[in-house]
Amino acid sequence: AQRVTQPEKLLSVFKGAPVELKCNYSYSGSPELFWYVQYSRQRLQLLLRHISRESIKGFTADLNKGETSFHLKKPFAQEEDSSMYYCALSPQGGSEKLVFGKGTKLTVNP
Amino acid sequence: DTEVTQTPKHLVMGMTNKKSLKCEQHMGHRAMYWYKQKAKKPPELMFVYSYEKLSINESVPSRFSPECPNSSLLNLHLHALQPEDSALYLCASSQRVPYEQFFGPGTRLTVL
């Protein structure tokens, strides 16, 4: 069965500090991995997907198949990054199902 | 139009009421989804429609009945709900899988 684990329920950093939100997955094939962000009173929106290898709002994430991880990183956190972050997995083969982790609430303090 | 819209924004209903949630997208997406999200929890998938056909039903109670009248519309019909069904109901769509899903703002449902 597919599973996504975000070990930190809460993460607090100071503005300008580096931040890393951890995501580990369990899946025997080659999944698609995503990071979604849900700002307060706003809709859930895609932040990154591993296949595109892009950087959005200064965030990057690298898929490490050996460690089955897809950690989200930003070198210098900003206060506006404070939000709930969800890591999600889509199984191989065109499944329509997204499996979400439980989420990490990031707080960036001034 | 690059958004998923949902109506109503808020809904309060009694346990004997019948109501419907509506979702609309005009991005030409062929997959549409209903999720339920409780406070401080991730979204839980309820239903998936692919090319207007129900392709996934995550063992949702029959008091929730989805309907996809056409490729742009998705409804969720509610009947005889329980207070524990109170949650944020999210609609999403995607061009195809496993591409990104675009989410609507949600309907905040309260069952009294």
Residues A77-103: tens digit of each pLDDT:
999 999 999 999 987 765 678 889 999
pLDDT at A69: 94
For residue B18, which amino acid is it? K
Spatial distance between the Cα atoms of B90 and A29, rounded to a whole number of angstroms: 28
Helix (H, G, I), strand (E, B) or coil at A79: helix
Query: What is the least distance, in Å, from the CA of B103 to any CA of chain A?
Result: 6
For residue B12, the model assigns a pLDDT of: 96
pLDDT of A61 above 70: yes
With CB atoms and an 8 Å threshold, state whether B33 touches A42.
no
CB B27 within 8 A of CB B102: yes
Instruction: Kindly determine whether residue A49 and residue B100, on different chains, have CB atoms separated by under 8 Å.
Output: yes
Q: What is the pLDDT of residues A15-51, one digit of tens each?
A: 999 999 999 999 888 788 999 999 987 899 999 988 7
Say whether A86 and B42 touch across the interface (CB within 8 A). yes
Q: What is the DSSP string of B9-24?
A: SEEEE-TT-EEEEEEE
The answer to whether the CB atoms of A103 and B40 lie below 8 A apart is yes
With a cut of 70, say whether residue B97 has pLDDT above it. Answer: no
Computed over every residue of chain B, the mean pLDDT equals 92
pLDDT in tens, B7-46: 999 999 998 899 999 999 999 999 999 999 999 899 999 9
Looking at this protein, which amino acid is placed at residue B108? R
CA A92-B35-B10 angle, 5° bins = 160
Dist. CA A11–CA A109, nearest whole Å: 11
- Chain B residues touching A98 at Cβ < 8 A: 45, 101
The predicted structure's pLDDT at residue B106? 96
Residues in chain A with CB shorter than 8 Å from the CB of B40 are: 84, 103, 105
Question: Which sign, positive or negative, has the C-alpha torsion B46, A98, A2, B40?
Answer: negative
Q: How far apart are CA A105 and CA A71, in angstroms?
A: 14
Nearest-CA distance from B8 to chain A in Å? 15
pLDDT given at position B19: 96
Per CB-CB distance under 8 Å, the chain B contacts of A90 are: 97-98
Question: Given a cut of 70, is residue B59 above it in pLDDT?
Answer: yes
Judge whether residue B1 has pLDDT over 70: no
B55 interfacial to chain A (CB closer than 8 Å): yes
Closest CA of chain A from B48, distance in Å: 7
Q: Is B31 on the interface with A (CB under 8 A)?
A: yes
List the beta bridge partners of residue B37.
B88
